């Protein structure tokens, strides 16, 4: 059987308890604490279930939580019932007990048909969204995480690449941090949570130097929503007692908002070499959302036109954007019908419970109906190579 190469464009690491003591500047250490309950993690994995405990463990991340300036993140958590997660123990039990060390990632890639991984944070998905955080603290937290991640990737066998995490409260500092991470550590992407902070919107001119620097470095922006931000807190009021619904909506709508910001706010017009990847929200929304954006450009909403755009939303997306989908996502077919098959990638979400089927990822995608074999090859490999600057000859 032919082997299909695979770039996993969205895996995750677990920041250790001592990350802030070892990597954060001393003057900021009293402002942040994180807890990685590995005993709890192995118990959860062994039981094959997860449980959301009020104010403490986030079960979707194996008992990880972070406290920033007295706020336990992610905010808006409520106690829930134990829910089944078949296969969780088989996938992760031993590695969860060990704390998912760097060597695990090499072992996973060697044994599961994954050629390369781009690794994103866990605690870092929400650590930057505590209320009233000063820009200096936000920058320092990201710098500490990135330095730790550089060391982690160096120990992971050379095929796990970091996504530099940035804080948008100070876009100039974020631009400097991106350059440091790409040049010093060889990171292949940039990560941020798309919820606005410090009154900065993604399309504000104050962010233009950041987008210009990222484009110049040739790495993509990985838009990865996370819990604990303003959108998630708003949804808590819509879905109290339904935390998984809350998270599902936050991730999906978060990427839709970010997509609208980059396209309708003129970011892609002003930075034509910038690449953007929308992660962990499926692919089906792209067809609907681009049609809605196009309708507004056409004056379909109260007859108002959007100035400053030289192309259609679909054309911007096709030129500069990618969407990552699960391997069994029926929305892949919808996205292909809307934008073609050049802008879709796939990922496992390895180390998070949703990624417990990482070993079957290639097989699952190959079994997806109504999608051609050539399209599947592009999704697994070709498109990700255009998105992420990975030198496969080295």
The answer to whether residue 84 is domain-embedded is: no
Please give the average per-residue pLDDT across 16-24, as a whole number.
Answer: 88
Q: Is residue 62 part of a domain?
A: no
Res. 330: pLDDT tops 60: yes
- Picking from 8, 6, 65, 4, the residue whose alpha carbon sits closest to that of residue 355 is 8
Condensed to tens digits (0 to 9), the pLDDT of residues 237-271 reads 788 778 778 778 888 999 999 999 999 999 999 99
Catalogue the long-range contacts made by 203-208 (C-beta closer than 8 Å, 24 or more residues apart).
Answer: 203/261, 203/262, 203/264, 203/265, 203/266, 203/267, 206/171, 207/168, 207/171, 207/267, 208/267, 208/270, 208/271
* Whether 75 contacts 233, CB under 8 Å: yes
What was the pLDDT predicted at 96? Answer: 75
Do 126 and 32 contact (CB within 8 A), yes or no? Answer: no
pLDDT given for residue 243 in this prediction: 72
Residue 211 falls inside a structural domain: yes
111 located within any domain: yes
pLDDT tens readout for residues 184-238? 999 999 998 888 777 789 999 999 999 999 999 999 999 998 765 567 667 777 8
Q: What is the CATH number of the domain that holds 155?
A: 3.20.20.140
For the chain, what is the total number of helices (H) and then of strands (E)? 16, 13
63 pLDDT higher than 70: no
Q: What are the structure tokens assigned to 196, written together?
A: 């606005």
Q: Can you tell me the mean pLDDT for 89-106?
A: 83
Dig out the tokens for 362 from the structure.
């290639």
Q: What is the pLDDT of residue 25?
A: 95
In degrees, to the nearest 5, what angle opens at C-alpha 249 toward C-alphas 275 and 66?
A: 80
Q: Strand 7-12 to strand 221-223: parallel, antiparallel, or no bridges (unpaired)?
A: unpaired
Q: Which residue has the tokens 């996205």?
A: 335
Residue 15 reports pLDDT greater than 70: yes
55, part of any domain: no
User: Higher-confidence residue: 303 or 158?
Assistant: 158
The number of residues making up the chain comes to 394
In a domain, 56, yes or no: no
Render pLDDT for 30-46 as a digit per residue (tens, 0 to 9): 888 765 444 444 443 33
**Does 271 or 91 have the greater pLDDT score?**
271
Amino acid 248: pLDDT: 83
Predicted confidence band of residue 29 (pLDDT cuts 50, 70, 90): confident
Q: Place 95 in a pLDDT band, splitting at 50, 70 and 90.
A: confident
User: To the nearest whole number, what is the mean pLDDT of the chain?
Assistant: 84
| % the chain with pLDDT above 70 | 80
pLDDT tens readout for residues 101-132: 999 999 999 999 999 999 999 888 877 777 67
Report, as an integer, the average pLDDT of 323-337: 98
Residue 80 lies in a domain: no
Backbone angles phi, psi at 320, to 5 degrees: -135, -5
| pLDDT surpasses 60 at 372 | yes
The Cα–Cα gap between 362 and 374 comes to 14
Do residues 366 and 332 make contact, with C-beta atoms less than 8 angstroms apart?
A: no
- Tokens found for residue 176: 């400097």
Give the span between the Cα atoms of 374 and 361, in whole angstroms.
Answer: 17
| Sheet containing strand 189-192, strands side by side | 7-12, 116-120, 160-165, 189-192, 221-223, 276-278, 321-325, 344-346
* Higher-scoring residue by pLDDT: 246, 165: 165
Label residue 80 exposed, middle or buried (CB < 10 Å: 0-12, 13-18, 19+).
middle
Mean pLDDT on 311-320: 97
Domain count along the chain:
1
The whole-number pLDDT of residue 133 equals 81
Asked if 32 and 127 count as a contact pair (C-beta separation under 8 A), the reply is yes
Question: Domain of 206?
Answer: 104-387
Is 153 part of a structural domain of the chain?
A: yes
């Amino acid at each position: 059987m032919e082997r299909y190469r695979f770039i996993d464009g969205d895996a995750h690491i677990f920041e250790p308890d001592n990350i802030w003591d070892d990597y954060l500047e001393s003057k900021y250490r009293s402002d942040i604490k994180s807890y990685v309950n590995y005993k709890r993690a192995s118990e959860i994995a062994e039981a094959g279930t997860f449980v959301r405990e009020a104010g403490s463990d986030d079960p979707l991340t194996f008992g990880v939580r972070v406290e920033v300036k007295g706020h336990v993140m992610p905010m808006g958590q409520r106690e829930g019932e134990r829910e089944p997660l078949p296969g969780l123990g088989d996938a992760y039990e031993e590695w969860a007990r060990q704390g998912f060390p760097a060597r695990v990632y090499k072992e996973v890639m060697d044994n599961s048909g994954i050629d390369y991984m781009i690794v994103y944070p866990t605690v870092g998905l929400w650590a930057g969204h505590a209320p009233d955080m000063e820009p200096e603290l936000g920058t320092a937290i990201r710098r500490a995480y990135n330095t730790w991640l550089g060391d982690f990737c160096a120990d992971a066998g050379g095929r796990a690449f970091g996504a530099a995490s940035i804080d948008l409260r100070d876009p100039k500092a974020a631009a400097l941090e991106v350059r440091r991470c790409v040049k010093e550590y060889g990171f292949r992407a940039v990560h941020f949570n798309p919820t606005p902070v410090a009154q900065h919107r993604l399309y504000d001119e104050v962010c233009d130097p950041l987008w210009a620097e990222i484009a110049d470095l040739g790495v993509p922006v990985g838009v990865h929503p996370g819990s604990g931000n303003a959108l998630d807190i708003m949804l808590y009021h819509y879905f109290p007692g339904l935390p998984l619904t809350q998270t599902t909506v936050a991730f999906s709508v978060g990427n839709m908002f970010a997509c609208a910001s980059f396209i309708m706010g003129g970011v892609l017009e002003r930075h034509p070499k910038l690449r953007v990847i929308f992660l962990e929200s499926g692919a089906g929304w792209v067809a609907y959302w681009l049609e809605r954006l196009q309708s507004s450009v056409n004056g379909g909403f109260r007859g108002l036109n959007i100035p400053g755009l030289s192309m259609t939303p679909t054309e911007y997306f096709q030129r500069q954007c990618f969407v990552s989908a699960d391997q069994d996502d029926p929305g892949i077919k919808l996205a292909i019908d809307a934008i073609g098959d050049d802008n879709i990638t796939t990922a496992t979400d390895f180390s998070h419970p949703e990624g417990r089927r990482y070993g079957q990822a290639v097989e699952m995608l190959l079994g997806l109906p109504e999608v051609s074999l050539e399209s599947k090859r592009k999704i697994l490999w070709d498109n990700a190579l255009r998105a992420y600057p990975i030198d496969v000859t080295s």
